[in-house]
Amino acid sequence: MTITKKEDEEFLIIIDFEDSFEILESIISFSVVCINLCTGIDESASLIFLEDSVYQAPDVAYGEGRYGGIPDNLLFLTVFGIKNGVLGNKYKITVKATTNLGNLIEEDIVLEVIECIDGYMQKQPSEKVSILMDFTNRLNNVDVRYDDTISTQSITVIRKSDGVDVTNSIVFGSALEGTEKVKVGVQGGSDNENYQMVNKIVSVAGYKYQIDALLSMDEK
């Protein structure tokens, strides 16, 4: 399995061992190790984080933990977070779980730290429009934090031709649209120029996500 993230992103991932377990088998302990495939160095301390097993107060539908009162990292699931990393590097994450039957189950994950464009929009320099950055799929992971929402957000616009920050001249406003989306107002710009819009959020649960959109100026 391969997972990708951007340098500043920080979030939880879940490994489900259920298909490998026997009846009534469950996890009693697990470990996570992260090796930089470019250097061979163990970077677990800087890239991996663990959390308390109970995430929130009891819920009518879900109970205290993820599944009807069962705390996380029991039964057949392991949960851990990933953060940091160097752009362009690949990391091998090895998860080992020990079960109540004395079995040792192992799963390997390749983590790639990348820079990518998540969306594309074209406008004329004279147009004044709004762009919606939708983080719903990142925030609504039922297996991790089923009710997470946006706490804070920031927007940066970089002119691609010279790498200059032109946020103040392109963005005329940005605000939350509900609890999972950000509406960004853009105006101006130069004909035949491309701009990279970087929208970063911090969720109520403390996780960090990023959407990059390419804004292309084209005078018709």
pLDDT over 80 at 32, yes or no: yes
* Residue that wins the pLDDT comparison between 150 and 204: 150
Q: How many domains does the chain have?
A: 2
pLDDT at 219: 82
The residue among 113, 129, 157 that closes a domain is 113
Same domain, 109 and 127: no
pTM for this entry? 0.87
In terms of Cα–Cα distance, which of 76, 83, 82 is closest to 13? 82
Do 98 and 153 lie in a common domain? no
Which residue's structure tokens are 């990348």?
114
Which residues, 6 or more positions from 207, have their beta carbon under 8 angstroms from its beta carbon?
10, 11, 12, 81, 145, 148
Task: Please report which confidence band the pLDDT of residue 144 belongs to, taking 50, 70 and 90 as the band edges.
Answer: low
Encode pLDDT of 157-193 as tens digits.
999 999 999 999 999 999 999 999 999 999 999 999 9
According to DSSP, the β-strands at 181-186 and 11-16 are unpaired
- pLDDT tens-place string over residues 44-65: 999 998 865 444 444 454 444 4
Distance, in Å, from the CA atom of 102 to the CA atom of 105, rounded to the nearest integer, reads: 10
Q: Which of 86-90, 141-145, 177-181, 189-193 is the least confident region? A: 141-145
Per-residue pLDDT, 67: 41
Domain stop point among 113, 135, 169: 113
CA atoms within 13 A on the CB side of 104: 4
121 contacts: CB under 8 Å, gap ≥ 6 = 131, 213, 214, 215, 216
125 and 104 housed in the same domain: no
pLDDT band at 24 (very low <50, low <70, confident <90, very high): confident
CATH assignment at residue 10: 2.60.40
Distance CA 144, CA 66 (A): 7
Name the residue range of residue 178's domain. Answer: 119-217
Whether residues 139 and 92 share a domain: the answer is no
DSSP state of 66: S
Closest CA to 186 of 125, 120, 119: 125
User: Binning pLDDT at 50, 70 and 90, where does residue 216 land?
Assistant: very high
